Amino acid sequence: MKYPQLIRDACAAATVGLLTSTAFAASYSIQIDGSDAIWLAGRSDLVIPAADQPWPGGLIRHGGPTPEEILETLPPGIGVNAGDVIQALDPAIGGISFFNGFGGTLFGPGGNALSGSSLTSFGGISAYQGPQGPLVGVFLNDDVPDGIAPAGLDFTPVGFGTDFLALSPDLAQVFYIGDGKTSGGVFQSFTAPAGATRLFLGIPDGFNFGGPPGAYDDNDGWYSVRIGVNETPAVPLPGAMWLFGTAFALSVSVARRRGA
C-alpha cells in the first residue's frame, strides 16, 4: 500500500519550503503515513532508533519484532499564520491497518468507533480522545514542543464529537480532522490560534488505542488529503468523488517531507 520509494523521493524533493509558506491562500496535497505519529510533530530534536531497537523515553513500541518493522516518522506539515482558516478541499481518502501483519483490516480517515481511543500527552503535545486512528492535526509555533502539554480535546459523542462545523484549537492541542466533512457533507473549518506558524497532520495510536502514545511499528497504509489555507472548497458535482478517487490513484504529486 506504500508508494514506491522512487516516487516518494521525487515527492519529497517537491516539498522544500513547504513549512515556510506564508501565502494568503494556498493548497497542498499531503500523504499521511500510518507511521506519522502526531506526537512527533515539530520534533526535529529527536533521533528515532531503528525499528527493532528499544526507545527509552520515546513512543511505546512492541516488545518484539513486528512483521512490518515500521519506523516511526515525523508527520508532514505546512506553514500557517494565526487566524488562517484550514479546510479540506476534497474529502480525505485512503486506509491504514493498525494491526500486526500486512493486509489487515483498514481504517479510513474517519477512524473507527466514535469513542474508542484515549491517549495521553507526549512531549508538550496534548492528549487525544475520540475515534481510533483517524486523521488528526496539531498547530504549533516555531519552537520544538516540550514542557507541560495543554488540556486535551474530547471528540467522543459527549464532547465535541466529530460532526462539528468549526473548531479553534489552541497551540499543541491534537484535534480530529477525519475526512474533513460533517455527516451532512459540509466541509469543516479549523482556525489557526495566536502564535501558530505550522500545522502538522498525523495519526494518533497506542496499544489498544489507549494509554501512552505508540504502537506505530505495525501501521501500514496511508491517508491523503488536499488541504486549503484560506481556500473555499468547491461544491462537488455529480460523479466528482469518483473522478477524484481515480485521479488520486494516478497522481504522484504528493506534498510531503519525511523525517527520520
CA 213/CA 239 separation, integer angstroms: 39
- Give domain 5-46+61-250's CATH architecture: Sandwich (2.60)
Average pLDDT, the chain: 85
Contact criterion met (CB below 8 Å) for 144 and 42:
yes
Query: What pTM was computed for the model?
Result: 0.82
Contact criterion met (CB below 8 Å) for 91 and 135:
no
b/e map 191-223, b = 16+ CB within 10 Å: bbbeebbbbbbbbbbbeebeeebbbbbbbbbbb
Specify the range with the lowest mean pLDDT, choosing from 4-13, 97-106, 234-243.
Answer: 4-13
Residue 238: pLDDT band (50, 70, 90) is: very low
What pLDDT does residue 119 have?
A: 99
What pLDDT does residue 68 have?
A: 83
Specify the range with the lowest mean pLDDT, choosing from 73-77, 174-178, 242-246.
Answer: 242-246
What pLDDT does residue 236 have?
A: 55
**Structure confidence by residue, pLDDT tens digits, 108-167:** 999 999 889 999 999 999 999 999 999 999 999 999 999 999 999 999 999 999 999 999
Among 3, 223, 1, which Cα is nearest to 108's? 223
**Segments making up each domain of the chain, as ranges:** 5-46+61-250
Side chain identity at 4, as an amino acid letter? P
